[in-house]
Amino acid sequence: MAIGDAAYIKKINRSLIISKIIEHGMISRADLSKITKLTRATISVQAADLLNEELIVESQQEHNNVGRKPIMLSLNRKAGYALGIDLEYRHITFTLSDLIGCPVQSTTIEIHNSNYDEILEILINQINVFKEQSSSSHFGLVGIGIAVHGIVTNDQLINFVPRYQWRNKDLKGDLKKSINIPIIIENNANLCSFAEKVFQHHQSDNLLSISMYSGIGVGVLIKGEPLKGYHGYAGEMGHMIVVPEGIPCKCGNMGCWELYASESSFFKELAEKLHKTNLTYQDVQKLFLSEDPTACDQMEHLIKYVSIGLNNIINLLNPETIVLNSELLKLYPDTINKIKANLTSSVSHYSELLISELGKNASVMGACALVIKNFLEIPELSFNVENGAFDENCINFEKNKSLA
């Protein structure tokens, strides 16, 4: 066997072992051997290397059986950190996670304009803050993932961000001039779908995640892989026309889906009808609880258009799992069943329709997870919330707010 072949096989084995350690949270060498079908000698050599690198740690598990306690292997979650950034309209969220994707700190910075150079400076300054905070760990800040609410090419160039009116921006290249850390630029909806797969729906290889906040973005996984299209533009279904000659959209079309079925469109129209400004989720929840006819009618209107878009997407892609990412849908009674009742076509087929549990954290959690996957050089990533790896501090992570 050629040396190159041996090195390649060793790399494949390492990747498999790391994946299984993460999937199980804690696992013994013997169980690793059974699951991976690798010899105990191979497991021992690989484990020794990973321990020397401080990428995994050993611990003894309590048990009631007679004999030696098994020595368990787990990922050294504090060996390094990943930074996820959600580049949203009017604010930027920075979330730092450990190596099992558990958020440890989050900062939101409000922005009051769309000037590219000013936002670039904010990104550089904040990244350097998190880099310094991570410097005491063995690997430090292992990478940065940035979620962009717009079109991102396969080369990670920003083609167009409607809300900012950015065109043809090389954000990755501009950041690289000041920051020597691996950077990933990705569409926010793609990162949401990746997060749903990694943290929630491990067995679903055909999954749609539909983010419904400032617009509508659709992340599509087909056979476990993101659907990106020829240049990377696939998934811009928020700009699917559902009302011919309808409301003009910043994309240049008229009657786009997101103008009728996004949270931003709902809040805008409801505020106008009620002659109010700055409606919050709490305000809307109170209106729903009091069965305010204007708010309820507006919600039924949104459900109607959500259903129209879903019918089109289901017929196109035949997904297994559809995840609607919306805080608004959680506030209205029986939303999912009302949407399902509108999906009556005999040619539309899907398995599961639900509201995301990750909510607005999905983008940054997906960004962190993708950074971790690339850093560990593993083909698949699966964080199991139920295996005890995620503790209370992980779910209720620190949140800070600052202004710019």
Q: Indicate if 283 and 243 belong to the same structural domain.
A: yes
What's the CA gap between 116 and 282, in Å, rounded?
33
pLDDT at 229: 83
Query: What are residue 275's phi and psi, to 5 degrees?
Result: 55, 45
Q: Are residues 232 and 292 in the same domain?
A: yes
What is the phi-psi region of residue 255: left when phi exceeds 0, alpha when psi lies from -120 to 50, beta otherwise?
left
Q: What is the CATH classification number for the domain harbouring 136? A: 3.30.420.40
Domain that holds residue 328: 201-356
The DSSP H or E segment spanning 12 is helix 3-24
For 383-398, the pLDDT digits (tens) are 875 544 445 445 444 4
Q: CA–CA separation, 214 vs 211, rounded Å?
A: 9
Statement to judge: residues 215 and 316 lie in one domain? yes
Angle at 313 between CA 308 and CA 317, to 5 degrees: 155
Q: Domain check: are 244 and 342 in the same one?
A: yes
The answer to whether the CB of 271 falls within 8 A of the CB of 258 is no
Q: Establish if 327 belongs to a structural domain.
A: yes
Shared domain for 121 and 159, answered yes or no, is yes
b/e sequence 356-368, b meaning 16+ C-beta within 10 Å = bebebbbbbbbbb
| Strand stretches in 127-182, DSSP E | 140-148, 151-152, 158-161, 166-169
d(CA 311, CA 208): 13
* Rounded distance between C-alpha atoms, residue 333 and residue 327, angstroms: 13
Q: How confident is the model at residue 401 (pLDDT cuts 50, 70, 90)?
A: very low
pLDDT class for 267, splitting at 50, 70, 90?
Answer: very high
Query: Two tokens at 245?
Result: 């000659």
- In a shared domain, residues 166 and 227: no
Q: Which residue has the tokens 């533009």?
A: 233
pLDDT tens per residue across span 22-75? 999 999 999 999 999 999 999 999 999 999 999 999 987 665 566 677 899 999
Residue 328: φ, ψ to 5°:
-65, -40
- The letter for the amino acid at 376 is L
Q: Write down the pLDDT at residue 359.
A: 93
Tens of pLDDT along 195-250? 999 999 999 999 999 999 988 999 999 998 888 888 777 888 999 999 999 999 98
8: domain CATH number is: 1.10.10.10
- β-bridge pairing 398-403 and 103-110: parallel
Residue 376 near residue 112 (C-beta atoms within 8 A) = no
Let me know: does 122 contact 129? Beta carbons within 8 Å: no
Domain membership of residue 370 (yes or no) is no
- 3 state DSSP class of 185: strand
